[in-house]
Structure 1
Amino acid sequence: MKANELRQKNEAELGKELLDLRKAQFSLRMQLATQQLNNTSQLGKVRKDIARIKTIQREKAAAK
């Protein structure tokens, strides 16, 4: 997910996207704990996407 795409979304859409990514992160962590996760790089990608969304939310809040 690119930052430019995220900047075009409103606060509600960003919040929903963040919630979805947090659920995905939880699922990946459970798969990792039960040794069912084959591609461990997915966990890092989700973490970075969460950080991008939180950064953009903070930018929008500071702009107000």
Structure 2
Amino acid sequence: MKSKVKDLKTRNPVELQQELLELLRAQFGLRMQHTTQQLGNTTQLRNVRRDIARVKTILSQKAKQS
């Protein structure tokens, strides 16, 4: 997990926005699978939600630095 945070901190805001969009799309797909009872591993939802929070946190930190 630490390596993911370090990787995210080295990216620029444009790349972070792109990552956020991909994660939001993944979250939508997982939610649809969950509601149609096709999702076997429900921990994926939690992991994606936490990744979204990490990206948003780093984006806000970079915005404060600028």
Aligned pair count? 64
Residue pairs, 1:25-36, within 5 angstroms: 25-36=27-38
Structure 1: which 5+ residue stretches go unaligned?
A: none
- CA-based RMSD of the aligned residues comes to 0.8
5+ unaligned residues in a row in structure 2: which ranges?
none
Question: In 2, Cα distance between the equivalents of 1:45 and 1:52?
Answer: 11
Aligned-partner residue type, residue 9 of structure 1: R
TM-score (norm 1): 0.97
| Per-residue CA distance 1:28-57 (angstroms, 9 max, x = gap) | 000000000000000000000000000000
Q: Aligned equivalents of 2:65 and 2:17: distance in 1? A: 17
